[in-house]
């Protein structure tokens, strides 16, 4: 039997999957790592933690599977997007990585918008948002200039891990699109943007396709993991591009919802000349010359894990969420907004914070749990509505990510989005997408579409219930009011954070 491996470098953990030629996940492993929040708005990880835990996860995957290393033909990556890893000439990280959900860069975003004005949208195809990489580079330029001077390259999280596994530096288009330094439609680094901020283009790594072979494993990595040094490594892609591949979002009209640490509503796009005025992100796909648009909730699964860790740390997700389906839609008048680290879509606002509105003496832990899930899902509905208002039909949504493990949440998505929700055999969309990039790269299939047809199997679907849809429509209108009603309160509260 032959296999490929998909490695998904998520925000909460690295997940590895061993996939056979039929697309069956034969084994999976996962190792968590910490997130550092030294100040409000800061979010960092230590790149060494990613490397160590990836190696542990690969070793465990091999041990539990009992598969002979020679049977593993290829390996590829999916990674949390935008995080800045600055390395020196020896490939050593100069500081902790500044992550996608770090919002310290509002001033740098204003600088980018001011300097580039309309050029930013026409070249990079996206607005300057705190989470993207260029604002983070500018933050280092302004606050830690001596570090930027020592930097030989900037990398994104999975590119750094891949470098440590292969010794090769590269970045694929789907991840490069999230830096704001890429000419997205032209598929090259924008010297115009780099020069506008006095950044040498030599800081940008070589660009590759997601399915491109970039090398094999270093001998010491083969020793540490038990994999063969001859295992071929394919570049991989941004986690959302890989999630889209793993969910089969490979042609027009298909929509995905991912509830991981962040939440994403994503739709395939062939046309590179479409202008969404920066309301949604517009990025290169992992498939050649294709694109996707997406809206992002900064703290989707993260809101639920924050809630669990803060108020019910001793409970598992399954225990915490037991019984929430017995509570009516609307959690008996309790409304939550998931802005606990600021927001992106549709409110690019680093300063907004979350709220529980309507707390009543009768509310119990399970009402709060349900309200958190509803608030997250309402936030994703805002992105669904942007797609619908742009003329896209959204009748069916493939749901992936940790949130897809919970049946009640899948039904809630159907009722809040008024669309059929499809759950796949494996909710590991990004890791599966990475495995598919390796399978396609190895030549198992002539196209990613054919790989998707063979690998992706729906497990169950959830139809919207018209009564609950109507109830949620009313609540959604209330939810949408909360942002405007709490914005200035949060501006005044900032001084106390
Ligand atoms: N059993 C579960 N039920 C509901 N949600 C869950 C469950 N397990 C995990 N989650 C949610 O999934 C999130 C993690 O999803 P995952 O896709 O692994 O994230 P990432 O790729 O960002 O590391 C958690 O923050 C949590 O909110
Ligand atoms: O910032 C974005 C997309 O623009 C996030 O979606 C990150 O890519 C993190 O993903 P998860 O860890 O939540 O999967």
Ligand 2 center from residue 299 Cα (angstroms): 10
Closest CA to 42 of 491, 342, 316, 334: 342
Work out the pLDDT band at 39, boundaries 50, 70, 90.
very high
Average pLDDT over residues 270-289: 90
Please tell me the total count of domains within the chain.
1
For 116-157, what is each residue's pLDDT tens digit? 988 999 999 999 999 999 999 999 999 999 999 999 999 999
**Proximal ligand: closest to the CA of 239:** 2
pLDDT of residue 365: 96
Work out the pLDDT band at 398, boundaries 50, 70, 90.
very high
484 found inside a domain = no
The answer on pLDDT for 103 being more than 80 is yes
C-beta of residue 327 within 8 angstroms of C-beta of residue 367? yes
Rounded Cα gap, residues 203 and 86, in angstroms: 9
Phi, then psi, of 71 in degrees rounded to 5: -80, -10
Average pLDDT over residues 489-496: 95
26 found inside a domain = yes
364 found inside a domain = no
For 228-268, what is each residue's pLDDT tens digit? 999 999 999 999 999 999 999 999 999 999 999 999 999 99
Rounded Cα gap, residues 125 and 127, in angstroms: 7
pLDDT of residue 270: 87
Work out the pLDDT band at 83, boundaries 50, 70, 90.
very high
pTM of the model: 0.95
Give 149's contacts (C-beta < 8 A, 6+ positions apart).
none
Can 239 be counted among the known catalytic residues? yes
**Proximal ligand: closest to the CA of 133:** 2
pLDDT of residue 112: 98
Work out the pLDDT band at 413, boundaries 50, 70, 90.
very high
Q: Which residues are annotated as a binding site?
A: 81-82
In testing the pocket of ligand 2, which one of 124, 172, 239 has its CB within 8 Å of the most ligand atoms?
Answer: 239
> Structural domain of residue 138, as residue ranges?
3-247
Q: What is the DSSP letter of 100?
A: T
Q: Which two tokens stand for residue 200?
A: 């040498």
For 192-220, what is each residue's pLDDT tens digit? 999 999 999 999 999 999 999 999 999 99
Half-sphere exposure of 474 (CA within 13 A, CB side): 8
Report the CATH number that the domain containing residue 198 is assigned in CATH.
3.30.420.40
Ligand 1: nearest atom to the Cα of 301:
27
For 179-188, what is each residue's pLDDT tens digit? 999 999 999 9
Closest CA to 263 of 120, 401, 121: 401
167 found inside a domain = yes
Give 205's contacts (C-beta < 8 A, 6+ positions apart).
153, 154, 155, 159, 169, 170, 171
The answer on pLDDT for 427 being more than 80 is no
Closest CA to 295 of 266, 275, 270, 338: 266
ω into 346 cis (within 30 of 0): yes
Q: Which of 34-48, 158-172, 272-286, 302-316 has the lowest mean pLDDT?
A: 272-286
The answer on pLDDT for 428 being more than 90 is no
The answer on pLDDT for 449 being more than 90 is yes
pLDDT of residue 45: 98
Ligand 2: nearest atom to the Cα of 283:
4
Name beta bridge partners: 256: 266, 398
Ligand 2 center from residue 239 Cα (angstroms): 7
pLDDT of residue 278: 86
For 379-391, what is each residue's pLDDT tens digit? 999 999 999 998 8
Average pLDDT over residues 467-494: 97
Q: What angle do CA 92, 180, 429 make, to 5 degrees?
A: 80
252 found inside a domain = no
180 found inside a domain = yes
295 found inside a domain = no
pLDDT of residue 1: 86
Ligand 2 center from residue 172 Cα (angstroms): 16
For tokens 């009603």, name the residue: 485
Rounded Cα gap, residues 484 and 404, in angstroms: 30
In testing the pocket of ligand 1, which one of 9, 264, 301 has its CB within 8 Å of the most ligand atoms?
Answer: 301
Ligand 2: nearest atom to the Cα of 261:
13
Average pLDDT over residues 309-329: 96
Maximum CA pair distance of the chain?
63
Helix count (H) and strand count (E) of the chain? 17, 23
| CA distances from residue 143 to 104, 107, 151, 200 in whole angstroms, order as listed | 11, 12, 14, 18
Ligand 1 center from residue 138 Cα (angstroms): 32
Rounded Cα gap, residues 137 and 116, in angstroms: 16
254 found inside a domain = no
ipTM of the predicted assembly exceeds 0.90: yes
Q: Which residues are annotated as a binding site for substrate?
A: 81-82
For every residue of 334-382, DSSP letters joined together read -EEE--BTBB-SS--BSS---EEES--TT--HHHHHHHHHHHHHHHHHH
């Amino acid at each position: 039997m032959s296999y490929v491996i998909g490695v998904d470098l998520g925000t909460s953990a690295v997940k590895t999957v061993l996939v056979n030629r039929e697309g069956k996940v034969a084994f999976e492993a996962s190792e968590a790592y910490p997130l550092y929040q030294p100040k409000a708005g800061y979010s960092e990880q230590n790149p060494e933690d990613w490397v160590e835990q990836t190696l542990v996860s690969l070793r465990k995957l091999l041990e539990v599977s009992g598969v002979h290393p020679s049977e593993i033909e290829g390996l590829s990556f999916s990674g949390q997007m935008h995080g800045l890893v600055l390395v020196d000439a020896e490939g050593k990280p100069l500081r902790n990585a500044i992550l996608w959900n770090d919002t310290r860069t509002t001033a740098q975003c204003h600088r980018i918008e001011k300097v580039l004005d309309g050029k930013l949208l026409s070249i990079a195809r996206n607005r300057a948002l705190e989470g993207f990489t260029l604002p983070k580079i500018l933050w280092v330029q302004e606050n830690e200039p001596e570090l930027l001077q020592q930097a030989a390259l900037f990398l994104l999280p999975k590119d750094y891990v891949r470098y440590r596994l292969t010794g090769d530096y590269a970045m694929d288009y789907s991840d490069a699109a999230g830096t704001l330094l890429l000419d997205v439609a032209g598929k090259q680094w924008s010297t115009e943007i780099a020069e506008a901020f006095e950044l040498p283009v030599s800081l940008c790594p070589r660009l590759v396709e997601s399915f491109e072979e970039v090398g094999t494993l270093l001998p010491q990595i083969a020793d540490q993991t038990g994999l063969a040094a001859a295992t071929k490594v394919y570049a991989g892609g941004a986690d959302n591009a890989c999630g889209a591949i793993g969910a089969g979002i490979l042609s027009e009209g298909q929509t995905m919802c991912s509830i991981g640490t962040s939440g994403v509503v994503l739709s395939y796009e062939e046309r590179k000349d479409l202008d969404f005025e920066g309301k949604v992100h517009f990025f290169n796909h992992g498939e050649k010359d294709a694109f996707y648009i997406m809206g992002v909730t900064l703290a989707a699964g993260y809101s639920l894990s924050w809630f669990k860790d803060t108020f019910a740390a001793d409970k598992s997700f399954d225990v915490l969420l037991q019984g929430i389906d017995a509570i009516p839609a609307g959690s008996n008048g309790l409304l939550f907004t998931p802005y606990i680290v600021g927001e992106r879509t549709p409110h690019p606002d680093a300063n907004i914070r979350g709220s529980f509105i309507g707390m009543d003496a009768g509310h119990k832990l399970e009402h709060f749990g349900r309200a958190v899930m509803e608030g997250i899902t309402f936030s994703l509905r805002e992105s669904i509505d942007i797609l619908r208002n742009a003329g896209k039909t959204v009748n069916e949504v493939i749901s992936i990510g940790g949130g897809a493990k919970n049946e009640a949440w899948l039904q809630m998505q159907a009722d809040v989005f008024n669309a059929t929700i499809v759950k796949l055999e494996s909710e590991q969309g990004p890791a599966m997408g990475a495995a598919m990039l390796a399978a396609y790269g190895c030549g198992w299939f002539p196209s990613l579409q054919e790989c998707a047809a063979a690998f992706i199997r729906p497990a169950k679907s959830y139809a919207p219930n018209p009564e609950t849809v109507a109830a949620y429509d009313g609540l959604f209108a209330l939810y949408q009011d909360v942002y405007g009603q709490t914005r200035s309160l949060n501006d005044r509260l900032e001084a106390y954070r």
